[in-house]
Structure 1
């Protein structure tokens, strides 16, 4: 049963975000909405929810349809209210007094600890804020659920809980999900919409299978376009021959046929459509300056502690050798970031038990991109830090997805995706031979994640990285260190850890 019909929908914000979009949403649909950063995913969700106005086309909703919409960000007005209050406020005023039990039920379903329910939103992590918005959207059991980047800031365990929660929803409840987490899309969707400025495509498949089908469809379009142009070219050649024969023979019939062939060629050329060329959100390119050292980092049974010196775990004797791409595995709060920070300090100075080769040139990026100064501008961050000249700096920034208009504005005004690409550009210009990356895929779209994977692998980069993105860590890692019972242990692969993290804890 169709509950929403989208016909020839278009939205323009300066440039067209998308045009002539057609989509039917039926009961039971679990739709993954995929596009590069800034290409209109959140805008389309807002249009479906009735929050944003569309420029062209129509959205027809079933009578009385209730839409649950989970936006990416918590409004400033909600920051001082507790998580419990935010969910309770989603109930209509006349129900809040005698149906507050609904809040307890939905928070229990989402495994929200009681102590967190009583904390102000401003004091919660980004992950718990996302869970609060989800609970508030679901408490009235809407007819359709719209989730905009629901896995942002969630650790693997919470992603697993969210997957299971979505799987337990009534089967006929349609859900639309925007996400850059490929494994999450594969686990939770049965249809995929690739949103494009024109000729968006829908496949009755989860993301990975749909991506293959999209590639085949684009390749077929490219072949069809080439064949059409070749056919038109052959017709024009035949027309040219007939024209010469007609002129030499004085035949009016051949002149008429020449004109007909030329007109057919023109119609074919006018109707021929080139294959879609995706306009990327910006290039991600890295480098590897190389080193003759075999071991770049050596750990000699280092104690990794909390900021107040409580022991988290000890490392044992570990080495990171040239070409190693080490993924650090551990549950949330076990101290992955603490080890990254410790090695960062060791490369920059002296830390007992940690040695770095004299030739190590480090490229460091943390999960909050704190190496970028929001008060700075992209232009000064590049031209002021590296000897590249203003003209080349502007070209590098444009290639990384920071438009000319944004290059002299504050970095704080950039989108998360633009900030991430700017951080990667600065990493490249540092010409490192060792990358230290804490959640590098935060804010990167799927195209950016795959580009980062390719760059790390193709350059033979040496790195230590932390990531909650299962596809990314599986594709990049060739060694895996796991924090197990206060020890850092090397394991063959991440699968046992991922299975453990993604499995809900028993009640």
Structure 2
């Protein structure tokens, strides 16, 4: 049974986001929605929910259908409410009086700890805020669920729980989920929509197999494009010959025939345009500055502590060697960020027990992209630190997806994806030989994640990385350190940690 149907759907906001989209959502669908940053995923979800006007086409919903839409951001008006109040606020006044008990049932289903329920939402982590947004929607008992980047800010334990919740508690509800988390999409979807400006593609497959099918379809389209372009070129050559003959002979018939051939060539070229050659959200390129040193960092049983001095773990005796891409594994709160920060300070100064090779040039990026905060604009981030010249600075920023209109805008005007790409550009210009990257895929779309993976591997980059993105970890890691209790130990791979973390 079709619950939501889109016919020739299109939305234009300055430029077309998508056009001619035909899509149906049925009862058992778990649809993954994939597109680059800024290419219309959130807008399409709002169109499906009925909160955004379409430019062309129409969206039809089954009579009486209740659509639940979990958006990315927490409304500012909710931040002063407690988590429980924010969920209760979704119900009508009558429902709050007579059925307020439903709130605690939903919070129990989502395994929200009791001690968090009466805290202000603004005082909770991003992960629990996202859980509150889901609870606000779920308490309304929707018939269809739309989820916009639901794994943002979640650790692996909560991602694993969300996967389980979708397959159990929410089993009978169709879901449309926009996400850049490839492993999550593979775990929870059975269909995939690749949203494009034109000729969006839908496959009845989870993300991984659908991506392979998309590549085959694009290759076939490219072959058709090349064939059609050859045919169009041949038509234009024939038209040119007939035109010359027509001019010399004064034949009106040949002039008409010439125009017909040219029109056929025009139509063929227009129809054959390869829609899959999409505009990139911005390139990511890195460099490896190189170093003669084999051992870049040595840790001699360093104590990693909280800011107030409480011991989290000891490192034992470990090395980061040239060519190592070490992934640091551990639960939230175990001390991953503290170790990253400790190494960052050791490169710039002195930390007891940490030896850094004198040839090390650090490439540092923290979770919140705090390295960009010293600069007012993207232009300043490039020109104040690096001697690149105005023309090259503009070209570098444009290549990273920061258009002319944003290059002198305040940092706050940039999206998360644009800030991430700017941070990677700054790393490239730094020419590091040791990368310290804490959650570098935050806010990056799948294209950006894959570019970052490819660059780290192709440049044979060295460094220490933290990430909850399973696909990224599997793609880039050559060694793995895991925080186990109060010790840091080397393990063979990430899969056992992933299994344990996803089980919660």
Q: What range is the shorter-chain TM-score in? A: over 0.9
Does the 8 A contact of 1:297 with 1:355 survive in 2? Answer: yes
Give the corresponding residue for 2:430: 430
Give the corresponding residue for 1:113: 113
Note the alpha carbon deviations across 1:333-357, whole angstroms, 9 max, x for none. Answer: 1101111011111111010100000
Give the corresponding residue for 2:233: 233
- Normalised by the length of structure 2, the TM-score is 0.95
Give the corresponding residue for 2:84: 84
Does the 8 A contact of 1:225 with 1:275 survive in 2? Answer: no
Does the 8 A contact of 1:328 with 1:466 survive in 2? Answer: yes
Give the corresponding residue for 1:15: 15
Give the corresponding residue for 1:349: 349
Report the aligned-residue RMSD.
2.2
Give the deviation of 1:129 after TM superposition. Answer: 0.1
Give the corresponding residue for 2:472: 472
Does the 8 A contact of 2:109 with 2:169 survive in 1? Answer: no
Q: Secondary structure of 1:140's match?
A: coil
Give the deviation of 1:315 after TM superposition. Answer: 0.6
Give the corresponding residue for 2:406: 406
Give the corresponding residue for 1:162: 162
Does the 8 A contact of 2:375 with 2:381 survive in 1? Answer: no
CA distance in 1, matches of 2:230, 2:171: 49
Structure 1: 5+ residue stretches without partners: none
Change (3 A) 1:94 1:54: same
Does the 8 A contact of 1:420 with 1:444 survive in 2? Answer: yes
Does the 8 A contact of 1:238 with 1:261 survive in 2? Answer: yes
Give the deviation of 1:257 after TM superposition. Answer: 8.1
Give the corresponding residue for 1:54: 54
Change (3 A) 1:236 1:491: same
Note the alpha carbon deviations across 1:72-126, whole angstroms, 9 max, x for none. Answer: 1111111110001111111221111221221111111111100001100110000
Number of residues of Structure 1 aligned to a counterpart in Structure 2 = 504
Give the corresponding residue for 1:98: 98
Does the 8 A contact of 2:34 with 2:179 survive in 1? Answer: yes
Does the 8 A contact of 2:199 with 2:275 survive in 1? Answer: no
Note the alpha carbon deviations across 1:51-81, whole angstroms, 9 max, x for none. Answer: 2212111111111111111111111111110
**After superposition, where does 1:291-310 map in structure 2 within 5 Å?**
291-310=291-310
Note the alpha carbon deviations across 1:138-180, whole angstroms, 9 max, x for none. Answer: 0121011111110000000000000000111454411111111
Does the 8 A contact of 1:222 with 1:275 survive in 2? Answer: no
Structure 2: 5+ residue stretches without partners: none
Bigger shift: 202-211 or 90-99? 90-99
**After superposition, where does 1:117-128 map in structure 2 within 5 Å?**
117-128=117-128
Bigger shift: 441-450 or 242-251? 242-251
Change (3 A) 1:241 1:436: same
Note the alpha carbon deviations across 1:357-397, whole angstroms, 9 max, x for none. Answer: 00000010000111112761111111111111122111111
CA distance in 2, matches of 1:255, 1:43: 49
Give the corresponding residue for 1:31: 31
Change (3 A) 1:162 1:267: closer
CA distance in 1, matches of 2:418, 2:352: 37
- Normalised by the length of structure 1, the TM-score is 0.95
CA distance in 1, matches of 2:40, 2:56: 15
Bigger shift: 121-130 or 372-381? 372-381
Give the corresponding residue for 1:456: 456
